[in-house]
Structure formats: C-alpha cells, structure tokens
Amino acid sequence: MKKFYVNENCIGCGLCASICPEVFEMGGDELAHARDEVISDNLEGAEEAKRSCPVDAIDDIEE
Ligand code: SF4
C-alpha cells in the first residue's frame, strides 16, 4: 500500500486538499497533512495532488 507524507517544504497553499480532500487536509497549523491510508479509489487523486504541489512537499512510500 502506498502512503503519502507532507514534508517540511509545505507552504500551506491548500492545493492538495482541494485536488484530493480524501487524502489531504489542512491542519490547524495551516499546513497540509496526509491521511494514513490511501485506498485504491483515492490513489489517482493523491498522485495528481503530489504532482501539482508547487514546492514538491508531498512524498510517498510503498509499504
Ligand atoms: S499543495 Fe503542497 S504546498 Fe500546497 S498545501 Fe499541499 S503539500 Fe502544502
């Protein structure tokens, strides 16, 4: 299963949460956070959000 992480580059623009709210949400710290589980239905959206991040702040690992 693939997991997504938001790294320290995040500038809190909100784009990922707007593209794929199933996986990314904005926290009280005004930075994005990724949910732990990415079910296959959400994978494409999460990949698109990763590609769209303007500061390359989304990483993923295969587990
Ligand atoms: S798109 Fe990138 S910079 Fe913008 S909120 Fe998401 S992780 Fe942060």
Please report the domains of the chain, with CATH numbers, ordered by start residue: 2-62 (3.30.70.20)
**pTM, 2 dp:** 0.93
Residues lining ligand 1, CB < 6 A?
Answer: 6, 10-16, 32, 53, 55, 57-58
Can you tell me which residue has the tokens 């995040």?
Answer: 10
Give per-residue pLDDT as tens, 4-52: 999 999 999 999 999 999 999 999 999 999 987 777 899 999 999 999 9
52 Cα nearest atom in ligand 1? 1
Largest CA distance in the chain: 28
Answer whether 4's CB lies under 8 Å from 23's CB.
yes
Please give the pLDDT value at position 31. 98
Higher pLDDT, 61 or 36: 61
pLDDT at 7: 97
Give start and end residues of each alpha helix (H) in the chain.
Answer: 15-19, 40-52
- Of the candidates 31, 34, 6, 30, the one whose C-alpha atom is nearest the C-alpha of residue 20 is 34
> What 3-state class would DSSP assign to 62?
strand
pLDDT for 26 equals: 98
